[in-house]
Amino acid sequence: MPQFEPGGVHGATITFSNPKSVGFDFEAILCMGEGWEEKASASFHLDAGQSKPMTFQVTMPSTEGTYPVYIKVNSGGVVIATFVGTEDIVIASTALVGLEITGINVSPTTLTAARHEYETSLGLGYWGDTFTISITFANPFNSDVWVKPDYAFGKLAGGEFGFLEGELQGFNAEELLYFRLLLQSSAIEGDYSHATSWQKPYDARGQNTLSNMAFVYDPDGVPRAGDERWIRIPAGGSITTVKDAHLSSDLQVKALQCTTCGEIITGSVEEHYESNHPGVEITCWSWGGLSGCYFTDGSGEAVTTVYVPAEGVAGLHDLCVVAWNAIYFVYDPGCGQTRVGGQIVTLNWRLEELVPVAAAVPDAINITG
Amino acid sequence: MNLSKANGEDGHIEVRELVMEDPDFESETSHVAHALFHNPKTSSFDYESELYLGKTIGNKVVTSGVKAFSLPAGGSKTVDFSVNMPQLTIPDDSFHVYLEIKHLGTLLITFIGTEDVGVFVTPAVEVTDITWD
């Protein structure tokens, strides 16, 4: 069964023959669907016994489904014959599956849990190590596709990876990325940064400089999909988007380090010294929320405060990239209206959503102390 | 359909009735006319009869072919004449109906229908299957 995209234009060629001994004028109409919707027509003359191929340019229906094809032939204003095509036409979008994430790169791959300062007009801010992530999408379809991807570090669960009924399976995201919301207005000011799991590769290299993310316009030039930026993957092509990103600034926790042996003390300092340094007298104190331990002989501090990676931070982490949102346009004349610059504009292109796609890179980064 | 003499002599045989369908026919379709013959003579005879369509007497555009039959003295009989309507090169045309009767190869009489037969061609079309690009 021939299968076409909704709204696509295709030629249907049919050879008509006049079996009679007299020439006649004919009008042939190609119809589709149970309702015999007229899609194209042609007028022609056939001499006695003559055959002639005729091509009808048919704009396919905008709604997916199976459509029978009918040919209605008139002569002298009277229907003289109707024919039904031996094959129905299937109208289906082929852009439903197949969008691919073909490349994911992180540089560098070895990072630390360190916290770095940066200055803002509102004071000091903090973020983690810098890295660059690049994601490449491939679009095998014959129409452009827009995606709004997310990425996260985490752990592959070991089972089936991918989407099942719209839910991502097989990956557990960890909160290892840095999120910053800098508010600087007359009403509220602040640098709200915190750890986050999923992040969008927005604003590659800052303020959209060099970013290949852009607003979405349909083929008629009408802005669509709101005021967010998407990555446009050209039909049959691929595109790479790059983001300079940061790890979270909250990957470390405070810990006490023994000044005698250098070991990180996770339990009681007194017990550590009794077990590991017998004969060394220490005194621990606590007052007003502060605490410390010093050598009783007055020779200095028994422990010092250091920052170490929080539990689960140090080590290898997998990387997952998903395109939860992926859209393309289907020709559907008059399918809706929108307001552009105060004017009501008729929409001729319907937005369709693709099934989400995901890809993962095992052991994408190693976070050291 | 009523008949009148086109040529020949009366008195040898009578055609009491010629029954046929609507005298307007689609080209190249077959139709049957039923003629009721009567022998007015006191002896039986053999006959050969042919029904044809034409523009003039003897102009046999289409014909039923010769039908042979016998009629006893004073007897009657219905003979069927099957005629294929002519192929036309114009959308419609009309023809006289002739009924020719012979005895032992000798023409007895030729009748002509008082009404002509109309022949027409209706447009028709055939198609191949559809090829999509």
Report chain A residues whose CB lies below 8 A from the CB of B124. Answer: 18-20, 80-81
Judged against a pLDDT cut of 90, whether residue A192 lies above it is answered with no
For A55-93, write each residue's pLDDT tens digit.
999 999 888 889 999 999 999 999 999 999 999 999 886
Task: Tell me the backbone φ, ψ of residue A113, rounded to 5 degrees.
Answer: -90, 15
Do A100-249+313-326+353-368 and A3-91 have the same topology in CATH?
yes
Q: Quick one: DSSP state of residue A114?
A: -
Report chain A residues whose CB lies below 8 A from the CB of B90. Answer: 22
Inter-chain touch B131–A14, beta carbons under 8 Å = yes
Report chain A residues whose CB lies below 8 A from the CB of B127. Answer: 14-17, 71, 73, 83
Helix, strand, coil percent content, chain B, rounded in steps of 5: 0, 60, 40
Inter-chain touch A22–B90, beta carbons under 8 Å = yes
Inter-chain touch B126–A21, beta carbons under 8 Å = no
Q: What mean pLDDT is reported for chain A?
A: 89
How far is it, in rounded angstroms, from Cα A282 to Cα A296? 5
What average pLDDT score do residues A213-221 get?
A: 87
pLDDT (0 to 100) of residue A97: 56
Inter-chain touch B124–A76, beta carbons under 8 Å = no
Report chain A residues whose CB lies below 8 A from the CB of B128. Answer: 14-15, 17
Identify the CA nearest to B123 among candidates A24, A44, A43, A78.
A24
Judged against a pLDDT cut of 90, whether residue A183 lies above it is answered with no
CA distance B29 to chain A (A): 12
Q: Where are the domains of chain B?
A: 3-120
Tokens found for residue A359: 């890809």
Question: Is the CATH number 2.60.40.10 carried by domain B3-120?
Answer: yes
CA dihedral (A171, A175, A180, A183) in degrees, to 10, reads 100
How many C-beta neighbours within 10 Å does residue A3 have?
13
Q: To which H or E segment does residue A275 belong? A: helix A269-276
Q: Where are the domains of chain A?
A: 3-91, 100-249+313-326+353-368, 252-309
A158 burial (CB, 10 Å; 0-12 / 13-18 / 19+) is exposed
Q: What is the pTM of this model?
A: 0.54
How would residue A204 be classed by pLDDT, with cut points 50, 70 and 90?
very low
CATH match for A3-91 among 3.40.50.880, 3.10.20.30, 2.60.40.10, 1.20.1250.20: 2.60.40.10
Question: Does this complex have an ipTM over 0.85?
Answer: no
pLDDT (0 to 100) of residue A207: 42
How would residue A364 be classed by pLDDT, with cut points 50, 70 and 90?
very high
CATH level 2 (architecture), domain A100-249+313-326+353-368: Sandwich (2.60)
